[in-house]
Every structure is written in C-alpha cells, then in structure tokens.
Amino acid sequence: MKRVLVVRNDKIGDFMLAWPAFAMLKATTQCHITALVPGYTQPLAELCPSIDEVIIDPGKEADSSAQQDLLIKLKSGSFDAAVCLFSNFRNAKLMWQAGIKQRWAPATKLAQLLYNHKVKQRRSQSAKPEYEYNLDLLRAFLAHNHFTPVEPSTPYLSFDDAELAAFKQQQSRLLGIKAAAPWLLIHAGSGGSANNLSIEQYADLTSQLRQAQPLLEVVLTAGPGEQGLAQQLVDTLGEGAVMAQDLALPDFCRLLACGSVFVAGSTGPLHIAAALDVPTVGFFPLRRSATPLRWRPLNSEGRHLAFHPPANAEVENMSQVDMTAVASAVIPWAQAYWP
C-alpha cells in the first residue's frame, strides 16, 4: 500500500474529526496520504502532519471544466485505495470514474453501489463519536490489507514552543492584553452548524468566570462573517474583553493554541481547539444527529466539558441551558488550566 486518497470534502468541524483517522493511517502504513478537501479547509489540511498532499475539490457547483480537471488529478494520482470518510453519490462516482481499485466507504445510501468495500456503521443512530466512526472505517481498511492498526493519540495538531511563544507575545501587543495571564477564548459564532447560546448567555458565563479568576484575559474569536456577533459580545462585556479578527486560518489555529480554555458551540473552531488539546467547553443541542456524544471533540480524557439543554426542554432550545449551573461546573474544572 503506497498511495491512499482520503476524502473528507465537507465542513471544517467534520474535517478536524478525521485527523485521528489520518494519524492512524500514516502511523500504521507510512504510505503517501492525499486528502481531497474543499478550498476553505486547505490551510488546515496543509497543517496536518499526517497528510502529504492536498487536492482541492472545487465543489458540485463548479463548472464542467473544473470537474474534469479534478477527475484528471484523481486518475493521475496512482492511488492504491480511496477511503471516503464522507460519502455521497458525487464522491462515489468520482472514485469509480477515477478507476481506483479499492474504494471504501460507510455502507449507507444509494452511493454504496459504486464502492467495492463497504462497512456497516449506521451513523444516523449517533451511537458513538464521529471520529470513532472514521477510525472504525480505517480499521476495516487496514485489516483487509493485513495491517495491525497503530492507535493514534492527542494532540493531533501542535506548534513549536518557541514559535508559539513569539506568536503569543505578538498577539498580546496587538490586542493590548497580558501574555503571561490565562487567556479565555470564546467563539460565539456557529457557522450555521448547530444552534448556539445567545450573546447574553455567553456574557453571563464569562462574567462568572472572571469573578472566579480576575486575571483572565477574555479574547473573542470570529470567523468570516462573525465579527459583528463577536463585537456584540465585546460591547456587552465592556472593559476587559477584546476581539481577535482577520487572522489567516493557520494563525487562527496558533491563537487557539495560546488559550488556557476555549468556549464555543458545536462548530469548527471547537474541533480545532480540541485537536490542539486546549481544554474546551462545548454547547450542543439534544437533536440525535447533533448530540455531545456524536460530535465529541478530540481532547484527551478530562479536558472537555459538554453542556446541553435539559432533558425536558426542546432539543434545539439552547436558551434553557442554565449558565449558573454551567459556571459552577466549569470554574473548579478550569482551575487546573489557569493560575
């Protein structure tokens, strides 16, 4: 097994939850790994130590010329196998048209007819974390090809200590905050991936955390189109809260690595922070496809706290999350991560 294509051409959070699978594949086989991803996750794929090459998927809306160029790249890749961690009919057809001999995917939907290796997973039941479904598919692939899997471990993303220290000093000057103090990073945006807390709830939690640890530097993060939401939270919190913005995605990752604790809803930045093994606090709806179990971040044991609406609330009603109860759980837990 020399060259393997791994397909995860959907959202950033989904892509981050594939990193354990990339790590397992590389550690077990030492093969050349190519990732097929959309353009907006390319910078993340290029940071992944287990990925050797990146092919950009122009997306289903791209013109026929771009689609043909993609197919040519896949045909010329000389791949021994393709593992589709994200499977739909378009991906299945692409792998089949590219003539890749081993085509692996979960055994779901009509698309499975174009794969010649399928694994029954029933992901719709959300019985385990997404990253575990990805690992199960990889384990089946490896067993078929007579490999004994090397299990991965956190962190999946890291930066050189000296480089990160210099970056933190630079950001502290730009933001006007103390580099030596613990940084509480809060991402109030959701990217449309799941219902989220209100600005008032985030402000309530932040105020309680600051009362418990007055030295906290509060940094609001924002992705494209989310600056207005972050600014609302800055304005609500008043003096002592700042917003980091306009960072390229690799520098956004470095900023998250500077955090003592990261707080967010179920969205891509939560999963980036977890891949860095920064302690995370996540908020999730109770809808079966979006539960804390299904979208559990990649933190090592004990470095993630998850909260959701009470069992008697509407599954999507995040307003029912009691922020006083949340703070009472977060404060003693967080003491281990800030002075």
Per the structure, how many domains does the chain have?
2
User: Does residue 182 share a domain with residue 67?
Assistant: no
339 falls within a domain: no
The answer to whether 239 touches 207, Cβ cutoff 8 Å, is no
User: Does residue 216 share a domain with residue 123?
Assistant: no
310 falls within a domain: yes
- Residue showing tokens 């530097």: 217
CA 304 to centroid of chain Cα atoms: 14
Q: Where are the alpha helices (DSSP H) in the chain?
A: 12-16, 19-29, 42-47, 64-75, 89-97, 130-144, 161-175, 199-212, 227-237, 249-257, 268-275, 323-334
Q: What is the pLDDT of residues 227-274, one digit of tens each?
A: 999 999 999 998 889 999 889 999 999 999 999 999 999 999 999 999
Q: What is the pLDDT of residues 14-45, one digit of tens each?
A: 999 999 999 999 999 999 999 999 999 999 99
Q: Which of 144, 172, 194 is the last residue of a domain?
A: 144
Q: Which of 144, 179, 209 is the last residue of a domain?
A: 144
User: Does residue 112 share a domain with residue 54?
Assistant: yes
The set of residues, in sequence order, having a beta carbon less than 8 Å from that of 222 and lying 6+ positions away, is 187, 188, 189, 229, 230, 243, 244, 245
Whether 68 shows a pLDDT value over 70: the answer reads yes
The set of residues, in sequence order, having a beta carbon less than 8 Å from that of 195 and lying 6+ positions away, is 265, 285, 316, 317, 318
3-state SS string over 83-122?
Answer: EECCCCHHHHHHHHHCCCCEEEEECCCHHHHHCCEEECCC
The answer to whether 45 touches 5, Cβ cutoff 8 Å, is no
Backbone angles phi, psi at 111, to 5 degrees: -60, -25
Total residue count of the chain as it appears in this document? 339
Domain assignment of residue 304, given as a range: 161-334
User: Does residue 129 share a domain with residue 272?
Assistant: no
69 falls within a domain: yes
183 falls within a domain: yes
User: Does residue 122 share a domain with residue 8?
Assistant: yes
User: Does residue 315 share a domain with residue 175?
Assistant: yes
151 falls within a domain: no
**Which among 233, 230, 219, 237 is positioned nearest to 181, based on CA atoms?**
219
153 falls within a domain: no
How far is residue 70's CA from residue 78's CA, in Å, rounded to a whole number?
14
pTM of the predicted model as reported, rounded to 2 decimal places: 0.96
How far is residue 13's CA from residue 268's CA, in Å, rounded to a whole number?
4
What's the CATH number where 50 sits?
3.40.50.2000
User: Does residue 188 share a domain with residue 134?
Assistant: no
- Record the tokens describing residue 75, joined without a space: 């045909």
**Which among 133, 134, 132, 104 is positioned nearest to 118, based on CA atoms?**
104
From the CB of residue 268, how many other CB atoms can be counted at a distance below 10 Å? Answer: 24
> Out of 14-23, 108-117, 123-132, 199-208, which region has the weakest mean confidence (pLDDT)?
108-117
246 falls within a domain: yes
Whether 339 shows a pLDDT value over 80: the answer reads no
The answer to whether 8 touches 15, Cβ cutoff 8 Å, is yes
Over pLDDT 90: what percentage of the chain? 86
300 falls within a domain: yes
The answer to whether 95 touches 114, Cβ cutoff 8 Å, is yes
User: Does residue 241 share a domain with residue 303?
Assistant: yes
User: Does residue 175 share a domain with residue 81?
Assistant: no
Instruction: Give pLDDT, residue 287.
Output: 85
User: Does residue 311 share a domain with residue 221?
Assistant: yes
User: Does residue 165 share a domain with residue 136?
Assistant: no
End-to-end alpha carbon distance in the chain: 48
Instruction: Give pLDDT, residue 192.
Output: 62
Q: Which of 115, 144, 173 is the last residue of a domain?
A: 144
* Mean pLDDT of the 79-105 span: 96
User: Does residue 174 share a domain with residue 136?
Assistant: no
